[in-house]
Structure 1
Amino acid sequence: MSIFAIILAILALLIALLYILEERTRRQFESKGVPYRGNVTYSFILNAFTGVSFIQNFTRTYNRLKSLNAKVAGGSDFGITKLLILDPDIIKSVLVKDFDHFVDRAGHIPTPKNDYLFAKMLLVLKGDQWKALRSKLSPAFTTGKIKRLFALFDQSGKKLVKFIEDETTTTNEMDLSTGYSKFAMDVIASAVCSMNSKAFEEKDPSVFEKMGDKLRLRFGAKDMIHMLVIVLAPKLANLLGFSIFDMEMQDFFSSAIKGSIHDRQEKNEKRNDFIQLMLEAREDKLKAEEGELSTFEKDAEIKSVGKASTSGDMLDDTGIVANCVLFVLAGFDTTQSLLLFCAYALALNQDVQDKLREEVETVLEDNGGEFSYESIHKMTYLDMVISETLRVYPPAGITERTSTQDYQVPGTDYVLKKGGSIQVNIAGLHQDPEYFPEPEKFDPERFSMENKAKINQYAYLPFGAGPRNCIGMRFALTEVKVAISHLVHNFRIEPSQKTLIPMKYTNENSLKPKGGMFLALNKIQH
């Protein structure tokens, strides 16, 4: 028998084995009345090779299961049960009412030894460690703390306007991805790390931008193979020096931020940034403003997850670096995504843009021609536009939690075993006509004071829900409002010859336009 024939026989045997395992998994779910959506791993791999984006996959999966009137659907991923929740009432139970069963986010990816920052990020911490660190950090994200940073947001907004003016001197068309990348990085560098990103000082990406870009998780064919080795053969991954995050990036941020910490301690100096807030949290000196509860305290009541614990060494110098990097990871990509698609929606809906500009001009006139924290948050229509952008173009299409104990799924006969995961398909929910009539239509009026109360809050989850929602929500919304306000005040946004209509998406962990976001930006003379 030839080698080729042997290889074919082995492949055939492997395929047969995988088929048998799939059918057994399918029968296990269907015997409990739960439809089977398939193997999540295979779906991701197929998408990576065929170019189907995550957002398309999430929406198609949701619509197919919704047509079956399914409230939940079974799946598997590397042998881990993945239960997809479609019903808002069950979502509420999982994320809020029964949070004690789902304290942890998905945590089935081994941490390669080279990823020394990954293990100390709030995002991946579990149980009592997460609870303790979240409680310590929550006061850093209160309204009062973010208000102190507003001047930095506004400075970055003005730099963005100047950058766009320079880029559109010869043509009004530009890829707004570049400008918003620089804006998001400039805000994070100054407000989080007290660093000069130098993003707007040169046309090409600065070192800070390049390092931030290395944090982006991509899911092409090569990336999927790399991740498969880490998940399936962690010892081999360590031997080969594989890591989830680029080593040059980790070393860059570690050196810069630890240097800043050392400099402050040497000079006994305090700065107005999140490094300082984390240093205060480490010493238990960080408190919420009087009369203002932290995000952690405002969230749904957290049932006991075990004995009280301290954050231990989670906020040592490496821990502070890790959570600054997490800020870049979580805040850069998602913020840029929201800003890009908001500009896109405004370009395609001129009536919405005109109404928003009228509100911005009124606020500026009442505020002496400058934006303030209070004036930005006074703009109700701006808030409606952002909310609708998050509905139509959610930066994160899915959220996930891991069960810490066996869980009887409400309204079903299915018991999710400890260690299994639940997934909530945010993209699918946001496009469901049951909750949002004419979901393809961009309509900020859905979020007016009158209509907002009618929305099922567990069918609209751009920042998640419950105690493990996005801790940086206030920070993100404030910087986004600043950027959009500066943009519509200074430019009329229109589609250009290169604008993608309909939109196409890349295959990355957050929603991004394929090939950039080309728009026409026409300067408004005041």
Structure 2
Amino acid sequence: IAISLILLILLIKYHFNYWNRRGIPQLKPAFPLGDYNRILTEKLPIAVTVAKIYEETHRKYPIVGTYCTLHPILIVNDFQLLKKIYVNDFQCFSSRGCYPDEVNDPLSANLVFTDGEDWKRMRQLLTPLFTPAKVKSFYQIMNDTSKVLENHIEKNFRNFEEIEILNLCGRFMTDIIASLAFGITVNSIDNPHEKFRQIGESVFDIESPMGVLRQLGSSVLPALKKYFKIYFVSKDVENFMISTVENLIEYREKNQIYRQDLMQLLMNFKETENFNVAQITAQAFVVFLAGFESTSITATYCMYELAKHPELQEKLHSEIDQHLDNEGNLNYDSIMKMNFLDACVNETLRKHPPISLTMRKCTQPYHIPELNVTINKDECLFVPIMGFHRDPDFFPEPMRFKPDRFLNQEVGSDTPFQPFALGPRYCIASQLGKIMVKLCLVGYLSKFKYESSDDGTEELKIAQKTMLIKPDKEIYLKISKRICNKI
């Protein structure tokens, strides 16, 4: 036993010296989580851990080798190098390393998880579904949901009561994306226990061991998914979503119903691209997941920041009042002209990026001449989005919520603002997501104002067991009615 233990220790030490042998600077890993033990010792989520490694190393190393458990992963600290990897030399880093399995795990065969020629084909098919013209055609569905939110708040809350916004934002986004992606009216705003809401929450489950493994397998440690047969979602969720889409397609075709939504556009691929029901469901489902969780987190953080900064909230109130029509409605062209609203959303995405960490897998040997380093095929990279976004060299006073930095040319094209990633794998639905957040904010703010329920001096703590950056507790704000001052 003693000899076996010694051999195991030597093997681990050898493994933890991989980057040194490659001539790449590395940290001081320790068992069991390598360079990520602060996930346990400091109870930090992995994205924050990567951001801290960036903060501690970026002035010294353009890239640094780390170990997530025994898995060697590079962290890219240099933005110019990152742009080369994401944009110029994308062909060498086009893979997310997610191992989709269309046969056994059909919902994993979506745009986010696929690679290579499958990804190229899917990207070409889906990109036209999210053009500005298409997003504009979805606007009425989204705006109607914003009015439902506004009416819900008016009906259920009195002056100076506290309103919990994280869950309500999630229900608002669920209603929009269920309608757009699946053509289904669910109204979880008024009925929090709607099935679609429960389905979405179950996918982001972080309490059960299997929920944690699914999140790790779908993001930072995809090898878990390959070797331990961890599926993207449970079979119950998979069967529910596929049967829902199957019934919807059958109903629309039987009754010759055409609706201006994403599901209708995906249905067209049955004829033009020979898509089956599972393939349609996979694309609709990933839009659903991406649409409701990250957008609801962004809207929540933005509301919290505006409540802490009443002068900014008042400025946004004035802009909303200026663009509302006489019936209190806001059309697509008006919301696209609201520069301060856009700046508030961008600043929230900078300070609190819900997707704070992305990963790429090298698909062919990649030499970096200025560093005299070669990244080998199948080696993986972490991109510390939060680290870049909170770097004072790029964003002075990074922990200050300052929307004006997006209005005064402080954030330029050479600034690492990347809430939707960069290059060809840039999120094609970013414009849709931002409009969803904006309409959520308008629903909250058109008739009401908010105050922070705490003293607002401390930053919100981040939930530990999640791949997304989100608050670790419910967020309560004090609500009061306001008078709309139209110009």
Tell me the TM-score normalized by structure 1. 0.83
**Alignment check: 8 A CA contact 2:347 2:401 kept:** yes
Shift of 1:252: 1.3
1:213 and 2:207 are equivalent in the alignment: no
1:168-203, Cα deviation, whole Å (9 max, x unpaired) = 23861122112101100000111111101231332x
Within 5 Å, which residues of 2 pair with 1:318-329? 318-329=278-289
In structure 2, the CA distance between the partners of 1:220 and 1:42, relative to structure 1 (3 Å rule), is farther
Alignment match, 1:439: 398
Structure 1: how far apart are the matches of 2:267 and 2:234?
26
In structure 2, the CA distance between the partners of 1:219 and 1:102, relative to structure 1 (3 Å rule), is farther
**Alignment check: 8 A CA contact 1:53 1:506 kept:** yes
- Please point out which of 319, 327, 331 is paired with 1:359: 319
Within 5 Å, which residues of 2 pair with 1:335-354? 335-354=295-314
Shift of 1:501: 3.1
1:18 and 2:12 are equivalent in the alignment: yes
In structure 2, the CA distance between the partners of 1:373 and 1:244, relative to structure 1 (3 Å rule), is same
Structure 2: how far apart are the matches of 1:14 and 1:112?
37
In structure 2, the CA distance between the partners of 1:502 and 1:230, relative to structure 1 (3 Å rule), is closer
Gaps of 5+ in 1: 1-5, 285-311
- Please point out which of 91, 95, 100 is paired with 1:100: 91
Q: Which amino acid aligns with 2:52?
A: R
Shift of 1:46: 5.3
In structure 2, the CA distance between the partners of 1:345 and 1:424, relative to structure 1 (3 Å rule), is same
Count of matched residue pairs: 478
1:116 and 2:106 are equivalent in the alignment: yes
RMSD, matched Cα: 2.8
Structure 2: how far apart are the matches of 1:489 and 1:261?
37
Structure 2: how far apart are the matches of 1:41 and 1:217?
22
In structure 2, the CA distance between the partners of 1:506 and 1:104, relative to structure 1 (3 Å rule), is same
**Alignment check: 8 A CA contact 2:302 2:348 kept:** yes
Structure 2: how far apart are the matches of 1:74 and 1:125?
26
1:286-316, Cα deviation, whole Å (9 max, x unpaired) = xxxxxxxxxxxxxxxxxxxxxxxxxx76x32
1:66 and 2:58 are equivalent in the alignment: yes
Alignment match, 1:75: 66
Alignment match, 1:465: 422
Q: Which amino acid aligns with 1:70?
A: Y
Alignment match, 1:85: 76
Secondary structure at the aligned position of 2:410 is classed as: helix
1:511 and 2:473 are equivalent in the alignment: no
Shift of 1:406: 0.6
- Please point out which of 440, 446, 459 is paired with 1:502: 459
In structure 2, the CA distance between the partners of 1:139 and 1:13, relative to structure 1 (3 Å rule), is same
In structure 2, the CA distance between the partners of 1:50 and 1:11, relative to structure 1 (3 Å rule), is farther
Secondary structure at the aligned position of 1:451 is classed as: coil
1:156 and 2:150 are equivalent in the alignment: no
In structure 2, the CA distance between the partners of 1:518 and 1:43, relative to structure 1 (3 Å rule), is farther
- Please point out which of 47, 54, 59 is paired with 2:46: 54
Alignment match, 1:429: 388
Structure 1: how far apart are the matches of 2:166 and 2:439?
17
In structure 2, the CA distance between the partners of 1:452 and 1:44, relative to structure 1 (3 Å rule), is closer
Shift of 1:346: 0.4
Shift of 1:322: 0.7
Gaps of 5+ in 2: none
Secondary structure at the aligned position of 1:467 is classed as: helix
Q: Which amino acid aligns with 1:151?
A: Q
Shift of 1:66: 2.0
Alignment match, 2:114: 125
1:456 and 2:414 are equivalent in the alignment: yes
Tell me the TM-score normalized by structure 2. 0.90
Tell me whether 155-164 or 369-378 shows the greater mean CA deviation: 155-164
